[in-house]
Chains A and B, each alone.
Chain A
Amino acid sequence: MESVFNDFKRAIEAGDGYGVAATISPVPPPSDPGRLYSFHRSTNSYSVQTDFRYAIVYNNDIQLNKMEGNSWVDVFVAYWKAIGELLLAEEVTNQGKSSQAPWGRVYEAWKEMATVLLRGYTGLIFPAWTVPCLYVAGKYLRVFAIKADEQAAQSNGKVTFNAGFQDDIVSSMGKNETLEDAARQINRIFAACISDRAPLEESRKWALYYITNLLFKTYFKASHPGNLSKNVLRSLQASQADIPPLEAFPKAHQVTFKYYAGVVAFLEEDYARAEEHLTEAYRLCHKEAQKNRELILTYLIPCHLLTTHTLPTQALLAPYPRLQRHFTPLATCIKRGDLAGFDAALHAGEAEFVKRRIYLTLERGRDIALRNLLRRVFIAGGFEPAKEGEERKVRRTRVPIAEFAAAIRLGSGGVGMDMDEVECMVANCIYKNLMKGYIARERGIVVLSKGGQAFPGTGV
């Protein structure tokens, strides 16, 4: 108990928000691994209130007004209870009975702590510089909720059935009910921050991006990233004028925010905006944060493939073996116009791609592979017989469908397509502006654009 309150005192005196936050962390500092345990042992549920009051309010060393002191007492009492539940859950887990560990109770106790803490802010009792406490509260709401859901899934199965007089038998099939509750709690914190009317110097608005990022993280884990994340972005947008510019926030907050904003746009298929955000995130990201850079590239590469039809270089992928493993085969096949190879590579990485939600985007890379294949036909077609008086050689722009069909058969590893389907593929390329020209069906030929624009952006 003493070490906790000594730290608390020191942090309060120094005005160190992260220091205060560290005293309500559910993870002991590395220098003192037994701290939570001894903290919890230092008092009991009967005298915890009094003990803490003595340590905070009646302690002449800590200069807090009475109201603030009392609020901190409430926070620490709730924290003490949560720690009790946490230690118990960890103990059960350590005994190898992880399926029985009461993480649900840990979550509820932590939620109570978060509520008491938040009340201190909404009641204008805690100063804004202590907002890192909210970070800790929110962060572990999510962590404990995930554990509680895992535990619930292990013991109850996923389905809840109705016991009341509803019409249908199943009431819910949520895998993540606790996590969704956590998202609501974090949203409350978000609301408390965004609605703060205090002048900027002492505003909780400085917590906004951290909390927003936490919300994104929670929504993504709860597997409905789209709509809810958009709502958050929208409310940030709406009060843009009152919020300090993003650049004024810590870099870590900026990078994470840009990353999630990019991924949200990516999932909405707004690849241009996604690329903008992700590029920014990549630029700001610390160069040694390999894992984060890898995450950013996971979305930035497919984005880039679709917007500019360019493939990642080996130099870019080299530091990330996972990306290399998944993207290199795809890139090679796209370059070569190897349709069968592309399908195989996509299939091989399917589990990973689906998990990252990039499968449906990468699938479109097949268009580029096809374009490259058709382009080779065009180049292999050579030039028109030179006409008199013309210096420049002109490529043969009338290509029989049968030649494309042969190429597709080669590209698909010998599996043929009927002519109508080949036409359909060519039509797609034309429709998507990957190829300029038209199909003259009656004559069985494709008439391509003259003047070096048949395959826009590729030099021919």
Chain B
Amino acid sequence: MYATTVPWRQSAEIAVMHPSPAFTTVPARRKFAPPEPSPAPSQPKAPTKKVDWPQAVREYVQRSFAPDAAVAGIDREEIEKVLKKVITEAAERDALVSTNWEAMPLPQQIIHTERARMAMPVAAATEPWRRDTTPDRHVALAGYSNGDSSKKRKSADTVMSDADDDSIPPWRKANPRNVFEDRITYANQGQADRVEKRQKRKLDDLAKGTSKYQENLEKRKQRFENGKPGNRSPQSLHHSQDGSPFDVNEGPIIGTCQDLEKRYFRLTSAPKPETVRPLHILEQTLDLLKKKWKKESNYTYICDQFKSLRQDLTVQHIKNEFTVNAYEIHARIALEKGDLGEYNQCQTQLRALYSQKLGGHPAEFLAYRILYFIYTCNRTDMNDILADLTPTDKQQPAVKHALDVRSALALGNYHRFFRLYLETPNMGAYLMDMFIARERVAALANICKAYKPDVKIRFLTEELGFESDQDCVQFLCDHGAQGLLEDRTDSVVFQTGKAGLLFENAKNAAFRKVDIKGQI
């Protein structure tokens, strides 16, 4: 329930709200604003007493706490800690006077950079302020990575979006794109979008895959052109080298595991870096999994592997096109195997990832989502999804198809529904397979009441989208209608007039309850 209360606020909150004596002195100082509308920023205590601080140091401290230097996500306590450390170290080195305090980064910048570097395993950011620093300052700064300065860090968000530019607060940024996207090298980009699909849909996908491939090449080219050279110094990180055990609160882990395959285990404590695979390994993993799926189709194995892949992405806070890709592939495979629970988890994740505009195939999965809600008969969610649709969404062929399916069913137009079933794009047919039998029963209930005395099997086969008359007869027999079939000279007829409530009851049973696994 506190999820929206950002951590740096929470602590102040508690202090403000509890009137117990132990806190009474603290809130008076810690509160930012009340009771006065515009409070003067209280002067921070200098870390050690009885020292006559040089003016430059005082100014540095003042700048650190100036309201306009505040950075979202970094609270006062953290700043104080880092500040103390910076000054103490300068004092220990007797460099209080010699240090160029003007050029010294503010504590919040240090924290920031530190977080950013932790968030990004491969490339250490070279920030502008680092250029004119002395080598021993580098050592001093690097020291913070192991300090507890960033213990409070909870959300990967701030880190990701703030990393490039301190002066722009996160909420000002129009598009919270992953700023690290341009730092990631895709070892084998072309594979990123090709997905194995099954027999009948193969041709479609091949065509789509190539155009996608082109598109990605373009994107990739752009990335290289726009990429800032400063972002690309591949330095290994201080804190991951010493192999110290990973602390969850400290930020994303940086994996060092080189194995492509890994069993999935639910984490109960922070993972060790040596058990987590970094992005470039995961990319190879995905490749391998795709090949294996094509060759062996062992779903138990594949699902397990994908779950561990997803887990590795999560603990390293990797949110980019690759993440989307991995989730999409897992969703498609789950769909194909009718594993709706797993599919649904991926779908939920994808929805959030798409909202971050990380690429992928939002229209395709939006269409699946609509079909899924048809399957679950979830009117509330269906209404919400309709409310969220943009005119552009509705133009997408897959989405349009799904919406047509919905409207056909809503109006009881089984004729149109089964035509739409036969021309479902992408893998939507796997979803429609989930409710096709149910809708056939419903249509039969309808037909049995409306047609008398009988109809030809051929008619049913065509209206209800069966592959053949045999399938149709089989379906009727499965529902206990074998006695109602009559062999005539030219055809087999189904005596609808005598079916009575047979299919009506079957329909009511079929719609009674839909199992919705893992739905959010």
- Chain A residue numbers with a CB within 8 Å of B157 are 156-157, 160-161
CB interface residues, A 120-177, toward B, < 8 Å: 148-149, 152, 154-174, 177
With A87-B37, A155-B171, A161-B319 already in contact, the answer to whether A81 and B16 are too (CB < 8 A) is yes
- Chain B residue numbers with a CB within 8 Å of A44 are 35
Of the candidates B34, B154, B248, the one whose C-beta lies within 8 Å of that of A88 is: B34
CB interface residues, A 39-60, toward B, < 8 Å: 40-41, 44-46, 49
Q: Interface code B327-367, partner A: CB below 8 Å = 1, 0 otherwise?
A: 00000000000000000010011011101100000000000
Is A184 on the interface with B (CB-CB < 8 A)? Answer: yes
- Chain A residue numbers with a CB within 8 Å of B318 are 169
Chain A contact residues (Cβ within 8 angstroms of B): what range? 35 or more
Q: Name the residue on B nearest A170 (C-beta).
A: B352
- Chain A residue numbers with a CB within 8 Å of B407 are 363
Q: Which of B1, B34, B72, B452 neighbours the largest number of chain A CB atoms within 10 Å of its CB?
A: B34
Contact status A165-B271, CB under 8 Å = yes
Is B290 on the interface with A (CB-CB < 8 A)? Answer: no
- Chain B residue numbers with a CB within 8 Å of A162 are 156, 314
Q: Interface code B24-43, partner A: CB below 8 Å = 1, 0 otherwise?
A: 10011001011101000000
With A87-B37, A159-B356 already in contact, the answer to whether A360 and B451 are too (CB < 8 A) is no
Contact status A160-B1, CB under 8 Å = no
Of the candidates B171, B353, B413, B450, the one whose C-beta lies within 8 Å of that of A169 is: B353
Which of A283-291, A324-332, A435-443 lies at the interface with chain B?
A435-443
Contact status A420-B4, CB under 8 Å = no
CB interface residues, B 279-324, toward A, < 8 Å: 307, 310-311, 313-315, 317-319, 323
Is B237 on the interface with A (CB-CB < 8 A)? Answer: no
Q: How far is the CB of A340 from chain B (nearest CB, A)?
A: 14
Which of B49-57, B120-128, B132-140, B383-391 lies at the interface with chain A?
B383-391
Is A68 on the interface with B (CB-CB < 8 A)? Answer: no
Contact status A104-B382, CB under 8 Å = no
Complex-state Cα separation, A163 to B292, whole angstroms: 31
Is A427 on the interface with B (CB-CB < 8 A)? Answer: yes
Is B267 on the interface with A (CB-CB < 8 A)? Answer: yes
Is B480 on the interface with A (CB-CB < 8 A)? Answer: no
Q: Which of B3, B27, B446, B497 neighbours the largest number of chain A CB atoms within 10 Å of its CB?
A: B3
- Chain B residue numbers with a CB within 8 Å of A158 are 355
Chain A, interface SS category? helix
Q: Interface code A302-341, partner B: CB below 8 Å = 1, 0 otherwise?
A: 0000000000000000000000000000000000000000
Of the candidates A78, A359, A427, the one whose C-beta lies within 8 Å of that of B17 is: A78
Is A249 on the interface with B (CB-CB < 8 A)? Answer: no
- Chain A residue numbers with a CB within 8 Å of B13 are 105, 108-109
Is A223 on the interface with B (CB-CB < 8 A)? Answer: yes
Contact status A40-B35, CB under 8 Å = yes
Contact status A165-B269, CB under 8 Å = yes
With A168-B345, A169-B323 already in contact, the answer to whether A81 and B170 are too (CB < 8 A) is no
Complex-state Cα separation, A223 to B323, whole angstroms: 29
Q: Interface code A396-427, partner B: CB below 8 Å = 1, 0 otherwise?
A: 00000000000000000000000011011111
With A81-B17, A267-B380 already in contact, the answer to whether A441 and B4 are too (CB < 8 A) is no
Is B449 on the interface with A (CB-CB < 8 A)? Answer: yes
CB interface residues, A 192-217, toward B, < 8 Å: none
Q: Name the residue on A nearest B33 (C-beta).
A: A88
Complex-state Cα separation, A431 to B443, whole angstroms: 10
Contact status B449-A41, CB under 8 Å = no
Complex-state Cα separation, A447 to B497, whole angstroms: 13
Q: How far is the CB of B230 from chain A (nearest CB, A)?
A: 26
Contact status A425-B413, CB under 8 Å = yes
CB interface residues, B 146-188, toward A, < 8 Å: 153-157, 170-171, 176
Is A16 on the interface with B (CB-CB < 8 A)? Answer: no
- Chain A residue numbers with a CB within 8 Å of B5 are 104, 108
- Chain A residue numbers with a CB within 8 Å of B380 are 224-226, 267, 357
Contact status B349-A354, CB under 8 Å = no
Contact status A441-B314, CB under 8 Å = no
- Chain B residue numbers with a CB within 8 Å of A159 are 352, 355-356
Q: How far is the CB of A89 from chain B (nearest CB, A)?
A: 9
Q: How far is the CB of B7 from chain A (nearest CB, A)?
A: 10
Q: How far is the CB of B354 from chain A (nearest CB, A)?
A: 10
- Chain A residue numbers with a CB within 8 Å of B497 are 438
- Chain B residue numbers with a CB within 8 Å of A78 are 17, 19
Complex-state Cα separation, A225 to B379, whole angstroms: 11
Complex-state Cα separation, A308 to B240, whole angstroms: 72
CB interface residues, A 339-396, toward B, < 8 Å: 350, 354-355, 357, 359-360, 363-364, 366-367
Is A298 on the interface with B (CB-CB < 8 A)? Answer: no
Complex-state Cα separation, A394 to B155, whole angstroms: 78
Contact status B450-A160, CB under 8 Å = no
Q: How far is the CB of B147 from chain A (nearest CB, A)?
A: 19
Complex-state Cα separation, A366 to B407, whole angstroms: 11
Of the candidates A112, A360, A427, A430, the one whose C-beta lies within 8 Å of that of B410 is: A360
Is A61 on the interface with B (CB-CB < 8 A)? Answer: no
Contact status B9-A160, CB under 8 Å = no
- Chain B residue numbers with a CB within 8 Å of A173 are 348, 351-352, 355
Q: Interface code A74-105, partner B: CB below 8 Å = 1, 0 otherwise?
A: 10011001001101100100000001101011
Q: Which of B24, B154, B315, B462 neighbours the largest number of chain A CB atoms within 10 Å of its CB?
A: B315
Contact status A45-B35, CB under 8 Å = yes
Q: How far is the CB of A319 from chain B (nearest CB, A)?
A: 27
5 tightest A-B contacts by CB?
A: A155-B171, A427-B450, A84-B34, A424-B415, A170-B352
17 A-B pairs besides A224-B380, A438-B452, A439-B450 with CB distance below 8 A are A44-B35, A49-B19, A84-B35, A87-B37, A88-B34, A112-B17, A159-B356, A165-B269, A165-B311, A169-B349, A171-B3, A172-B3, A173-B348, A360-B410, A426-B450, A428-B450, A431-B445
The 20 listed contacts between A and B (C-beta, < 8 Å) are A84-B35, A99-B171, A109-B16, A155-B170, A156-B157, A156-B170, A166-B314, A167-B310, A169-B317, A170-B349, A360-B410, A420-B415, A424-B412, A428-B411, A428-B412, A430-B449, A431-B446, A431-B450, A438-B450, A438-B451
